[in-house]
Amino acid sequence: MDQFIQTVRAYADALGVQPSTVVQRAAKLGGAAWAKWEAGEGSPTLRTADKILKYIEENPAPVDVDEACTPLKEAS
């Protein structure tokens, strides 16, 4: 469960949104579901977790081209 929580948090951070927003978009659940999972008061079903992970896989966070590319060195 910890790895799932970390994955959703990292994805949300990369998008600049709250993890509950990811859960809402991916699994059509309310923000309260995320709050319960994070507090350890509940956990997603395997089906729900799979939906969220599939959503993350199919909708990758955009890559900042300036940070992802290393400048080429000029030939001497």
pLDDT score at 31: 85
Domain ranges of the chain: 2-61
How does DSSP classify residue 16?
Answer: T
| Full-model pTM | 0.79
Q: Does the pLDDT value for residue 71 go beyond 90?
A: no
pLDDT in tens, 26-63: 999 988 999 999 999 999 999 999 999 999 999 999 87
Q: Note the pLDDT tens digit of each residue in 10-23.
A: 999 999 999 999 99
How does DSSP assign 31-67, residue by residue? HHHHHHHHHTS----HHHHHHHHHHHHHSPPPP-HHH
